Structure 1
Amino acid sequence: MGVKVGVAGASGYAGGELLRLLAGHPEFDLVTATAHSQAGSAISAIHPHLTGLDLVTKPTVPEAFDGVDLVFLALPHGQSAALARQLPDDTKIVDIGADFRLHDATAWERYYGGAHAGTWTYGLPELPGQRERIASSTRVANTGCYAVTTILALAPLIAAGVADPEDVVVVASSGTSGAGKSAKTHLLGSEVMGSLSTYKTGRHQHVPEIKQATGARTLSFTPVLAPMPRGILATVTARPLTGADPRDVLAEAYKDDPFVHVLPEGQWPQTASVGGSNAVHLQATIDVDSGRIIAVSASDNLGKGAAGQAVQNANIMLGLPETTGLQIYGVAP
C-alpha cells in the first residue's frame, strides 16, 4: 500500500485532472473522492476519459477522509476552510482553491469577499526557499493558474533588480476550463468559438497573489478568455531598471528547476507545447521601440496551474522526488 490520498471536489475539471494524475502515481493510493451534486456517481460517468478508475464519489463530509494520509481540496473558492477545519491535524492537505493563499485579510475581502480564513504555506516550489517550507508543512495553499504563470516570469526579474516593481503590465489568455465546469452562458461553445474577450477587467482576484509573491507594487492585469479548453499564455511587461538581459536572469533563476524551461533564443512559448504537463515555458527580451522588458510564459492551467502543481507540492511534503507521477513534456500535436 502506498500513501492513501483523497480528493474533495472530484467532479470539476481540476478534480478530474487530479484523479488522472493520482491514478498513475506510483506512490499514491487513491482511496476516496467526493462531490456535491454528483455524489454517488461513478468517476467514469463524471469523467469519461477515466474509464477503468473504479471509484464512486461520496458526499463531501469529513468522514469521507477517515484514514487518509493526504487530502487534495479542489473546491470552489471559499469552501475549503470549513472542511479543512474538520480534518485531523496530522492529515496533510493541499488546497487548490484560494482560501489560504493570501497574507492580507483586506486583500482577500476586497477580491473574494467574506472572512479571511488564514494563511498556509504558499505552494510554489520554484520561489526561493519555498521547497524547504513546503517540505516541513502539513498545510499548503496551491497557487492560482494565472498567478503561477505570471509569477514565474516576473519574480526573478524583480528580485534581481532588473524590472521596476512600480510598473508592471500583464495581459494573459486562458482556456475555458479555468472558469470551472458549471454551466454558464458565456462559456457555451457558440459564445466562445472564434472569439476573444476580456473578463474581470481591472479586478481579477489573482492580482494580490501575484503582487504578494513577486514584490510588484503596481500591477495592471487583463485576463482574456480564449477559445480553447486549457492553457495560459501570459505576456508580462515592465520598465527595466538596468541593462541586464532578462532572458539571462530567468535562465539563471531556473537552471536547476525540472518543470520550468527558458526556451532557446528566438523560440517563444505556446500553450500547445505544455498541454497535459506540469511544465512552464518562458522567454524574454527587450522591446526595441519602448525599451520595456517583455517576458512571455505558457502553462497548462490544469497542470502547473492546478492539479499538477498540487501533486508536485504533495511529493515535496512527503519527501518524494517532486517529479514523481508528473509529466515534464507536453502532448503534441
Structure 2
Amino acid sequence: MTVRVAVAGASGYAGGELLRLLASHPGVEIGAVTAHSSAGRPLGSVQPHLPELADRPLLDTSAAILRGHDVVFLALPHGQSAALAGELDPGALVVDCGADFRLRSSAAWERFYGSAHAGTWPYGLPELPGAREELRGATRIAVPGCYPTAITLALFPAYAAGLVEPEAVITAATGTPGAGRSVKPRFLGSEVMGSMSPYGVGGGHRHTPELVQNLSRVAGEHVTVSFTPTLAPMPRGILATCSARLRPGVPAAEDAVRAVYADAFAEEPFVRLLPAGRWPATGAVLGSNTAQVQLAVDADARRLIGVSAVDNLTKGTAGGAVQSMNIALGLPERLGLPTNGVAP
C-alpha cells in the first residue's frame, strides 16, 4: 500500500521534519510541498538537510493544489488550518499539526486563541487511553502540542490509576523551534545562548487547556494544572518535570507506582520507561520518535514526580503525526519512524 502525501507549510520546522520522516517511509509517495512566503523557491533553499527533495518547487498553499492526495499534513500557524481543511477532499486523511482542532471546549479555545472554535478532531496521541480506537479509520486528526505530548506521557498513568489528586504542577524546558521559523528578536542566538527564561507564566500558555483536557480525560474528573514553560538554549527537545500529590491512603511507595507505569507503557513502541536511577535527557531522544519517562516518589512531601523527554519536532509534532497516520490507514504503527536517537 502506497499513499500520496502532501505537506502544507513545508518551509517551516514542523514541515521540514515531516518531510524528513516521510522521505524514509516505505508506504509514502511525496506529492505537493507548499509554502506561503517561500512559494516559488526550491525546497532545498529552505530545507538544505533534505537533499533528495532539494529540487522540489514550493507551491502556493491552496486547496486546489492539496486536493487529489490521499493524505494532507497541515503544518501551518495556529488558526490557519480550519478554513483550508474545509475545502479538502472529505475522503482524504487530513492531519493538522496546529492547534485548530485539538480542544473540545469552545470556551477554552476562544479564551486562549481569541477566535471562533472550528471544532474537534480525533486526538493524535495514540498512547492516551482510548485514542487508538478513535484514530483507526479516521479521516481527520489533530496532532497534540509538543508540551502536552511530553507532559501527558509523564503523568497520565498516575491519573488513570487514581494515584494522585486532581492538581498538577509542571515546569518544562523547550528548545527554540517551538516558536516557529519566523524571525523574533528574543529567539536570536545572541539572546538565547547561555540563558534560560520563563514565558507564559501564571496559566497563560496556550497549551494549558490541552493539558487540562488530557489529564481530566484519564482522571475522570477535572484536573487543574499550574504550568510554567521555560526557553532553553538548545535547537530541539523538551524536558518536562511534573508533580502531583498522592491521594490519601495511597502508599508513598515508589515500587508500586513504577509497576503502574510499567503496565501502562508495556506495549508502547515509542515510550521507554527508564530503569530506576536513570533520568530522561533531551540529547538521548534527538531525532527519534521515542519518549523517555522516569518517576520518583517524594515520601516526605507525598508527591509523585514524573519526568519525560521528547524531541519536540519528532515525537512532539511530526513523528506523532506520522504515527497517527499509520494507525488511521491501518499501516504498521512503527513504519517510517526512528526509535534511535542521534549522538552526540
Distance 2:244 2:140 in 1: 33
Partner of 1:200: 200
Partner of 1:123: 124
Query: Cα distance, 1:232 vs. partner?
Result: 0.1
- 1:123 counterpart SS class: coil
Aligned partner letter, 2:208: V
Q: Does 1:250 align with 2:261?
A: yes
Distance 1:86 1:45 in 2: 29
Query: Cα distance, 1:235 vs. partner?
Result: 0.2
Partner of 1:152: 153
Aligned partner letter, 2:239: L
- 1:325 counterpart SS class: coil
Partner of 2:219: none
Aligned partner letter, 1:149: A
TM-score by length of 1: 0.98
List aligned pairs for 1:267-286, cutoff 5 A. Answer: 267-286=278-297
Distance 2:52 2:124 in 1: 31
Q: Deviations over 1:87-107 (max 9, x none)?
A: 010111110000000000000
List aligned pairs for 1:85-124, cutoff 5 A. Answer: 85-124=86-125
Contact 1:299 1:305 in 2 (8 A): yes
Query: Cα distance, 1:218 vs. partner?
Result: 1.3
- Stretches of structure 1 that go unaligned for 5 or more consecutive residues are none
Give the % identical residues: 56
Distance 2:102 2:302 in 1: 34
Q: Does 1:239 align with 2:245?
A: yes
Q: Does 1:83 align with 2:84?
A: yes
Q: Number of matched residues?
A: 332
Distance 2:170 2:108 in 1: 19
Query: Cα distance, 1:288 vs. partner?
Result: 4.3
Distance 1:235 1:220 in 2: 12
Contact 1:144 1:306 in 2 (8 A): yes
Partner of 1:46: 46
Partner of 1:218: 224
Partner of 2:25: 25
Distance 1:330 1:174 in 2: 17
Q: Does 1:326 align with 2:337?
A: yes
Distance 1:168 1:127 in 2: 17
Partner of 2:185: 185
Distance 1:66 1:304 in 2: 27
- Stretches of structure 2 that go unaligned for 5 or more consecutive residues are 217-221
Distance 2:184 2:119 in 1: 30
Partner of 1:176: 176
Q: CA RMSD in A?
A: 1.1
Partner of 2:4: 4
Distance 1:201 1:12 in 2: 26
Distance 1:285 1:198 in 2: 25
Distance 1:55 1:318 in 2: 26
Distance 2:223 2:130 in 1: 21
Distance 1:308 1:317 in 2: 14
Distance 1:129 1:159 in 2: 12
Q: Deviations over 1:43-69 (max 9, x none)?
A: 111111112313111000011123200
Query: Cα distance, 1:273 vs. partner?
Result: 0.5
Contact 2:95 2:142 in 1 (8 A): yes
Aligned partner letter, 1:281: Q
Aligned partner letter, 2:303: R
Q: Deviations over 1:227-269 (max 9, x none)?
A: 0000000000100111253322211101000000100010000
Aligned partner letter, 1:263: L
Return structure 1 stretches of 4+ with deviation > 3 angstroms. Answer: none
Distance 1:23 1:194 in 2: 35
Aligned partner letter, 1:186: R
Query: Cα distance, 1:276 vs. partner?
Result: 0.1
Distance 2:302 2:223 in 1: 20
Distance 2:146 2:37 in 1: 25
Distance 1:174 1:62 in 2: 33
TM-score by length of 2: 0.95
Contact 1:251 1:262 in 2 (8 A): yes
List aligned pairs for 1:56-71, cutoff 5 A. Answer: 56-71=57-72
Aligned partner letter, 2:16: G
Contact 1:153 1:250 in 2 (8 A): no
Query: Cα distance, 1:210 vs. partner?
Result: 0.9
Contact 2:137 2:329 in 1 (8 A): no
Aligned partner letter, 2:143: N
Aligned partner letter, 2:232: A
